[in-house]
Amino acid sequence: MKEARTVLVTGGSRGIGLASAKLFADAGHRVAVTSRNPEAIDDRIFSVACDQTDSDAVDLAFTAIEAELGAVQVLVANAGITRDQLLLRMSDDDFTEVVNTNLNGAYRVARRAARPMLRARWGRLIFVSSVVGLLGSAGQVNYAASKAGLIGMARSMARELGSRNITANVVAPGPVATEMLASLTEEQRTAITNQVPLGRVAQPQEIAEIINFLASESGAYITGAVIPVDGGLGMGH
What value, to the nearest 5°, has the Cα angle with vertex 211 and ends 206 and 217? 125
Residues in Cβ contact with 237 at an 8 Å cutoff, skipping those fewer than 6 apart: 134, 135, 228
Least Cα distance to 125 among 226, 214, 232, 190 occurs for 214
Amino acid, single-letter form, for residue 201:
V
Per the annotation, the verdict on 107 as an active-site residue is no
Exposure string over 53-80, b if 16+ CB within 10 A, otherwise e: bebebbeebbebbeeebebbbbbbbbbb
Least Cα distance to 176 among 18, 6, 4, 10 occurs for 18
Distance CA 218, CA 216 (A): 5
Q: Which of 72, 143, 176, 208 is catalytic?
A: 143
Active site residues per annotation? 143
